[in-house]
Structure 1
């Protein structure tokens, strides 16, 4: 018991919470992946996809026409082009501001998140849904949703970095909430457009959040140590 207390005292409460979230998220992702590979989620996925289409015309999504266009715009926010430009601009800004360690953290987090998403797609090899017509063109594998996963990594990481600079707690909560909101609506847009099963998106959210947490945990000490060394050099 004393050894456990000694081990716990070595870490900050937030770090311990992060470890707990990582463990819970990994368990959820493993269970979800197992259910998907066994075909246990297909009934749920099918029901949601059909519910989002007009009963007499599966090529027509529910809702007004402007909603389809709006959701097409939203899904672009999670595309590789937009995320790459956003990450590149943010990285350049951080480099110009002489925050090299944070710039490297952001760039490597997003890049590794994209690579992890691609690797999982190849490993699981789940085909795209053919239950309803796709409203946008897609040509890769389905599980997990790359839009959901990489947007979660990108926007949560950017939100965490921006929140660190905010003075007020309410502002920090808003910034992180905005990152979560963007990741959520981007994931939902993929289901509405018929290009992903709901479980693809759920897995993308979980995996993306886990990856962002893991990168934050690994980089936390590195960034703090680098900042300390830079401060010592100034002195």
Structure 2
């Protein structure tokens, strides 16, 4: 009897730890990002950021990026894939497909990931109010604050959410790994394009990647917690 009670307590403790650890790690990550945003706001990373941007330009003319002209054109094309209009269109199109396929939970998850990523990005811009880089010439039009990179943050939140939804329709681990690899490559390329075009500091993009991914991970944990045991075939695992 005592052994049975002990085993039951051990299983309960393991279950609690299994559920609590992801949320504890999430809180820790939030604390790290908050500290990082304070450091950026105080200008502690500015010297390194500026040196990195200057390293990507010709020493005698900061308006000219390193490499042939086609690289600049390619970066402009990639940066457009992280624009709000493109991400909104992709999200709405995918949401419509999920709804007609009777997958409302995935549709809601995708919309929450995009909306939350966009709102969080704009809130942080208003809080930190970091000016755009002025040590190099901008090669793309910009009009708001620099930190964090909205392209990096919202694209990370959206494309990662899309990968999560797509993976739910796949069974082979190799297929799922491929989906996440493609999404990760696209997210990284969009962020790099913002740095190459001189419209964001590296720390803007790095924070955007981390914050956007963290937001989608938090959404996934929440949906997994509340929609895991649905009986209508639309469980969120």
Q: Could you tell me the TM-score, scaled by structure 2's length?
A: 0.89
Higher Cα Rg, which structure: 2
Q: Could you tell me which residue of structure 1 aligns to residue 54 of structure 2?
A: 50
Distance 1:10 1:20, change over 3 A: closer
Q: Does 1:10 align with 2:16?
A: yes
| Alpha-carbon distance between aligned partners in 2 of 1:180 and 1:153, rounded to the nearest angstrom | 11
Q: Is the 8 A contact 1:149 1:205 kept in 2?
A: yes
Q: RMSD of aligned C-alpha atoms?
A: 2.0
The Cα shift of 1:113 comes to 1.2
The Cα shift of 1:165 comes to 1.6
Q: Could you tell me which residue of structure 1 aligns to residue 219 of structure 2?
A: 215
Moved more, 68-77 or 99-108: 99-108
For residues 110-149 of structure 1, the aligned pairs below 5 Å read 110-149=114-153
Q: Note the alpha carbon deviations across 1:172-198, whole angstroms, 9 max, x for none.
A: 111111111111111111000000011
| Alpha-carbon distance between aligned partners in 1 of 2:218 and 2:51, rounded to the nearest angstrom | 34
Q: Could you tell me the TM-score, scaled by structure 1's length?
A: 0.90
Q: Does 1:197 align with 2:205?
A: no
Unpaired runs of 5+ in structure 1? none
The Cα shift of 1:221 comes to 2.7
SS in 2 for 1:196: coil
Distance 1:146 1:4, change over 3 A: farther
Count of aligned positions: 227
Segments ≥4 residues shifted beyond 2 Å: 2-8, 15-21, 221-225
Unpaired runs of 5+ in structure 2? 1-5
Q: Does 1:105 align with 2:117?
A: no
For residues 56-205 of structure 1, the aligned pairs below 5 Å read 56-205=60-209
| Alpha-carbon distance between aligned partners in 2 of 1:124 and 1:133, rounded to the nearest angstrom | 22
